[in-house]
């Protein structure tokens, strides 16, 4: 089934929770509302004509411009996107599912955005969600073990957010100016 057919099936089942499609992208994508992403993923996996049995990766993108002049010229509002790269080996099609989140929950700086986990749909999501949590700060509600996977538990912040500030020191180890790109 092509991306248009997949989109039609999703709109038929989830209606307004399916927000957008880009069938012409190198990796065709469909955007879904954050509150329905787990339901959509389960449907994509279980529906006989879709059978997305493989989750390749979950990743994030931080759309934030710290420069006020550049931010004013942007055609989008600052947000974080979470991308799910899926394949159906049995049906021979692929898809990127996209979810847009505010950079901070309820607009309150420091409160990370939240999504429901899909780790019950694909077990590989367990590790991928932990990585997105670690590097972007997205909290996956219902995740069985949401903790850092790459950085120490007490590491400050989330390094792939564009407003991240590298700490000057960590446990008494001082960051050198040469190693910090300064």
Region of residue 165 (phi > 0: left; psi between -120 and 50: alpha; otherwise: beta): beta
pLDDT at 178: 59
Kind and range of the H or E run holding 65: none
Q: Identify whether 180 is part of a domain.
A: no
How many domains does the chain divide into?
1
CATH number reported for the structural domain that contains residue 157 in this entry: 3.30.460.80
pLDDT at 91: 95
Reading the chain (182 residues) residue by residue, the pLDDT tens digits are 999 999 999 999 999 999 999 999 999 999 999 999 999 999 999 999 999 999 999 999 999 877 767 767 777 788 999 999 999 999 999 999 999 999 999 989 889 999 999 999 999 999 999 999 999 999 999 999 999 999 999 999 999 999 898 888 888 889 876 555 54
Q: Report d(CA 79, CA 131) in Å as an integer.
A: 18
Q: Report d(CA 80, CA 97) in Å as an integer.
A: 14
Q: Identify whether 179 is part of a domain.
A: no
Pairing of β 114-116 and β 79-88: unpaired
Picking from 135, 134, 136, 154, the residue whose alpha carbon sits closest to that of residue 145 is 134
Kind and range of the H or E run holding 34: none
Q: Identify whether 182 is part of a domain.
A: no
Q: Report d(CA 31, CA 84) in Å as an integer.
A: 10
Is 138 in contact with 105 (CB distance < 8 Å)? no
SS3 (DSSP) at 124: coil
Is 50 in contact with 43 (CB distance < 8 Å)? yes
pLDDT at 67: 73
Is 119 in contact with 40 (CB distance < 8 Å)? no
Q: Identify whether 121 is part of a domain.
A: yes
Residue 123 belongs to what domain range?
Answer: 3-174
Using alpha carbons only, how large is the chain's radius of gyration in Å? Answer: 18
Backbone phi and psi for residue 8, each to the nearest 5 degrees, phi listed first: -60, -40
């Amino acid at each position: 089934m092509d991306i248009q057919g997949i989109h039609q099936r999703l709109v038929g089942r989830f209606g307004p929770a399916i927000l957008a499609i880009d069938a012409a992208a190198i990796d065709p994508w469909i955007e879904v509302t954050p509150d329905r992403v787990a339901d959509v993923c389960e449907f994509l996996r279980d529906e006989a004509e879709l059978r997305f049995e493989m989750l390749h990766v979950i990743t994030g993108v931080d759309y934030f411009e710290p420069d006020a002049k550049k931010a004013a010229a942007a055609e989008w509002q600052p947000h974080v996107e979470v991308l799910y790269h899926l394949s159906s080996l049995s049906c021979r099609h692929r898809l990127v599912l996209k979810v847009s989140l505010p950079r901070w929950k309820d607009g309150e700086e420091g409160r990370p955005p939240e999504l429901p986990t899909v780790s019950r749909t694909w077990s590989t999501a367990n590790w991928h969600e932990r990585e997105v949590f670690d590097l972007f700060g997205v909290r996956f509600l219902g995740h069985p073990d949401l903790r850092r996977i790459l950085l120490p538990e007490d590491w400050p912040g989330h390094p792939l957010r564009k407003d991240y500030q590298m700490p000057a020191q960590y446990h008494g180890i001082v960051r050198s100016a040469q190693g910090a790109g300064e």
